Amino acid sequence: MQPLEKHLLVTISEDVNALFGLRFVFSFFARTDLARLTLFYVSPRPAPGREFQESLSPYCQPGQDPAFGQSCRQPPPALAAARDWLLDMGFPANRVELKSAPAKLGTVKDIAAEAERGLYDAVVLGRRGLSWFDEIFDDSITHRLLWESITFPLWVCRNPARHRRNVLLCADGSEQALRVADHVGFILRDEPEHSVTIFHNRALGLPEGERVEQIMARTGEVLLQNGISEERIDYLVKSSKDAAGLILKEAERGEYAAVAVGRSADKPDTLSNIFGSTSLTLLRKLEGAALWISK
C-alpha cells in the first residue's frame, strides 16, 4: 500500500515542562517523514479594548530574525519552546508548522474550530488538555452542542511512559468501535514497530445476534483493510463487570503505548454521558498510555 501522511494538531500550553502530547507523538512515530505536526497555541483572551488582529506574516524559522528586515514574526514563547524541543530531538523541521489563535470562544471551542478547519487526522491533548474536558463538564448548557461539533479523534496524553509500544483496541461490536479501529489501522499502517491487540470484555454483553468471534473478526478485518498484517494483530477476551478497571489493568500489564476506545453514539442527557462512563474513567485514571477516543 502507498504510505499515507498523518497530520496531527498538537495543542501547546504555557507549561513547557509538560509537553506530554508532543513527547508522546515524538516517541510513537518511527516514520517521522510521514508525520506532519501543527503545533497549536491558544493565547490568553485580550483585555477589553486590547483586541488585536492576527498578523499575516509567517512565524520566523530558527535562525530568522525580524529585526534584520526578514518578513516574519516571532512565535509565542510556548510555541517556540515546543518547536525547539522537537528539532533538538531530531524531528524534521519541514514536518512542523506553528499556529496560534487568540482566545475567542473558550479553549474547547477554539481548538475544535481549528480542528474542523484543518481536517486533521487527530487532535493531541497533553496533561493541561484535561482541563479541556473540565470546561465541557462545567457548562451544562453547551455540552450538547459541543458533542455535535467534535467529529475528530482525540488523543489524550496524561503522563505517557516513553518507549512503550503497541495499541490496545477495545472492541464491542458497535459502529463507534469499528470507527476507532479504522483510525488505529490508518495510524499504524506505516508503523510496523507497533502491533494491535483487539480486546473484548465478555461481561458487557453483545449486540443481539452477535457472537464474540464475529466481533473480533470484523474488527480484525478493518485493520487488515488498512494494511495491518495478520502477524501484527492479536486477540484477547477477558471478563469483568468493571469495564474501565479491566482496561486499566490490561493497559498496565501489556505496557501499551495507547488505548483506543469509541465514544457513545447517543446524544448525552447528562454530563457523565458525553463520552460514556468507561471513557470518562479512563480519562481520569489512565497513566502511562495515551487514550485515543473516536466518535
Mean pLDDT of 62-71: 70
Mean pLDDT of 230-250: 97
pLDDT of residue 142: 43
pLDDT of residue 29: 97
- Residue 41 pairs in a beta bridge with 12, 100
Q: Which of 16-25, 50-59, 70-79, 211-220 has the lowest mean pLDDT?
A: 50-59
d(CA 16, CA 216): 41
pLDDT of residue 17: 65
> If you average pLDDT over every residue of the chain, what do you get?
85
pLDDT digits (tens, 9 = 90+) for 98-132: 999 888 877 777 888 899 899 999 999 886 555 65
pLDDT of residue 103: 84
Contact residues for 275 (Cβ-Cβ < 8 A; gap 6+): 263, 264, 283, 293
At 63, the pLDDT band (50, 70, 90 cuts) reads confident
Mean pLDDT of 38-55: 70
- Is the CB of residue 281 less than 8 Å from the CB of residue 287? no
The larger pLDDT score, comparing residue 276 to residue 19, is at 19
At 67, the pLDDT band (50, 70, 90 cuts) reads low
Query: How much of the chain exceeds pLDDT 70, in percent?
Result: 82
Mean pLDDT of 189-211: 92
In this predicted structure, the answer to whether residue 216 has a pLDDT above a threshold of 70 is yes
- Is the CB of residue 6 less than 8 Å from the CB of residue 187? yes
Strand order in the sheet with 6-12: 96-102, 35-43, 6-12, 122-125, 154-156, 290-294, 258-262, 167-170, 196-201, 233-238
In this predicted structure, the answer to whether residue 149 has a pLDDT above a threshold of 80 is no
In this predicted structure, the answer to whether residue 189 has a pLDDT above a threshold of 80 is yes
Question: Do 6-156 and 167-294 show the same overall fold?
Answer: yes
Mean pLDDT of 52-64: 72
The larger pLDDT score, comparing residue 93 to residue 133, is at 93
d(CA 31, CA 36): 10
DSSP assignments along 129-161, one per residue: GHHHHHHHHH-TTTHHHHHHH--S-EEE-SSBP
d(CA 263, CA 149): 14
Mean pLDDT of 65-69: 66
Mean pLDDT of 161-183: 95
Domain boundaries along the sequence of the chain? 6-156, 167-294
Contact residues for 144 (Cβ-Cβ < 8 A; gap 6+): 267, 268
Between the CA of residue 125 and those of 9, 39, 46, 155, what are the distances in Å? 9, 11, 23, 6
| CATH architecture of the region 6-156 | 3-Layer(aba) Sandwich (3.40)
In this predicted structure, the answer to whether residue 5 has a pLDDT above a threshold of 50 is yes
pLDDT digits (tens, 9 = 90+) for 6-40: 999 999 988 776 789 999 999 999 999 999 999 99
- Is the CB of residue 286 less than 8 Å from the CB of residue 260? no
Mean pLDDT of 172-199: 96
Q: Which CATH class name applies to 167-294?
A: alpha beta
